[in-house]
């Protein structure tokens, strides 16, 4: 697919000075000289991205099922985490795709809905799964202020041209004390390692991914926007198709999980996907719920928020 490309300033600090970092085909990731954010520049225009996402997700039923299998354990873990703070409430999953996480939360008694930019995925979620899904992007839906108890986004923020605006919108539509849960890849440490050994790869998945957040960067952004109590965790791993990818995902996922717990939840293994949970400020953040059934008995290592 041909993309119409444009030069942009840093999506986080808006400065225009940057250094080249990694090349993948004709695309280049750069590092902002001012805030160190890593992003694609030049990048496809917002319009050309919108066209791209109409074809991004698979269409055949077998591929949709594989997609569900790939994400299942991540979704279950995330649902358990949310249920540790609230037994039910109103939830929005941004970039809800086929709607599997919305369905999971609906089954658990939440009033759950999605926002999705891909028309085919939205149709699937509405017509096959019977879910409520709004056409994206999020900023165009216009939800009221302080509307949701929880907002989630799985592998979404790295696709967004305006990640800061997205986080601000999440903050606006969340109730005070509401939960934000984001899952995102962190690829640069592995890119650096492979580059060192001269191993060619396309791990950044350009131009689909427009940026590569580090845990520190995402935490800083959330705090500046008005979130508090941000906590990272490994949060499981995906099960992609293909033996090589699947083995790598299980191996690094389990290793990083083990390291996280053995280090007293201090070491976040670089290069693997992570989940961050944060709370909208200006109110007492919720404490984890006690009692049977909450959290599904699974240990995610989350301390109570401050």
Binding site for Zn ion (CB under 5 A): 10, 12-13, 32, 34-35, 37
35 versus 302: smaller Cβ distance to Zn ion: 35
32 versus 182: smaller Cβ distance to Zn ion: 32
Angle at 199 between CA 193 and CA 203, to 5 degrees: 70
13 versus 259: smaller Cβ distance to Zn ion: 13
34 versus 220: smaller Cβ distance to Zn ion: 34
Is the separation of the CB atoms in 120 and 180 below 8 Å? no
CB of 227 to Zn ion, least distance (A): 19
Q: CA–CA separation, 45 vs 6, rounded Å?
A: 6
14 versus 65: smaller Cβ distance to Zn ion: 14
Q: In what side-by-side order are the strands of the sheet with 111-116?
A: 133-135, 111-116, 90-94, 148-154, 174-184, 274-280, 227-233
CB of 19 to Zn ion, least distance (A): 11
Exposed / middle / buried, residue 119 (Cβ in 10 Å: 0-12, 13-18, 19+): exposed
Q: CA–CA separation, 45 vs 245, rounded Å?
A: 30
Angle at 182 between CA 232 and CA 56, to 5 degrees: 140
CB of 223 to Zn ion, least distance (A): 16
CB of 18 to Zn ion, least distance (A): 8
168 versus 267: smaller Cβ distance to Zn ion: 168
Is the separation of the CB atoms in 218 and 185 below 8 Å? no
CB of 12 to Zn ion, least distance (A): 5
CB of 196 to Zn ion, least distance (A): 25
CB of 10 to Zn ion, least distance (A): 3
What token pair was written down for 163?
A: 């990640």
29 versus 79: smaller Cβ distance to Zn ion: 29
């Amino acid at each position: 697919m041909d993309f119409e490309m444009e030069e942009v300033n840093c999506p986080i600090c808006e400065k225009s000075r940057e250094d080249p970092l990694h090349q993948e085909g004709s695309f280049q990731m750069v590092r902002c000289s001012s805030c160190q954010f890593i992003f694609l520049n030049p990048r496809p225009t917002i319009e050309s991205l919108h066209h791209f996402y109409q074809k991004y997700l698979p269409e055949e039923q077998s591929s949709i099922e594989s997609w569900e299998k790939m994400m299942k354990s991540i979704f279950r873990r995330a649902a358990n985490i949310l249920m540790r703070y609230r037994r039910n409430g109103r939830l929005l999953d941004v970039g809800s795709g086929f709607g599997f996480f919305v369905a999971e939360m609906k089954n658990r008694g939440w009033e759950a809905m999605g926002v999705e930019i891909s028309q085919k995925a939205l149709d699937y979620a509405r017509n096959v799964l019977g879910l409520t899904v709004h056409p994206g992007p999020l900023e165009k839906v216009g939800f009221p202020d302080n509307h949701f108890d929880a907002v989630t986004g799985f592998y979404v923020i790295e696709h967004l041209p305006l990640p800061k605006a997205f986080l601000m919108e999440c903050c606006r539509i969340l109730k005070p004390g509401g939960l934000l849960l984001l899952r995102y890849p962190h690829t640069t440490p592995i890119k650096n390692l492979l580059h060192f050994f001269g191993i060619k790869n396309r791990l950044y998945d350009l131009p689909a991914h427009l940026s590569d957040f580090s845990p520190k960067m995402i935490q800083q952004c959330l705090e500046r926007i008005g979130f508090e109590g941000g906590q990272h965790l490994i949060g499981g791993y995906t099960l992609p198709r293909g033996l090589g990818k699947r083995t790598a995902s299980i191996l690094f996922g389990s290793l990083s999980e083990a390291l996280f717990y053995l280090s007293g939840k201090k070491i976040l293994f670089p290069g693997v996907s992570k989940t961050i949970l944060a709370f909208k400020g200006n109110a007492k953040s919720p404490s984890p719920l006690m009692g049977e059934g909450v959290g599904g008995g699974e240990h995610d290592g989350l301390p109570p928020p401050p």
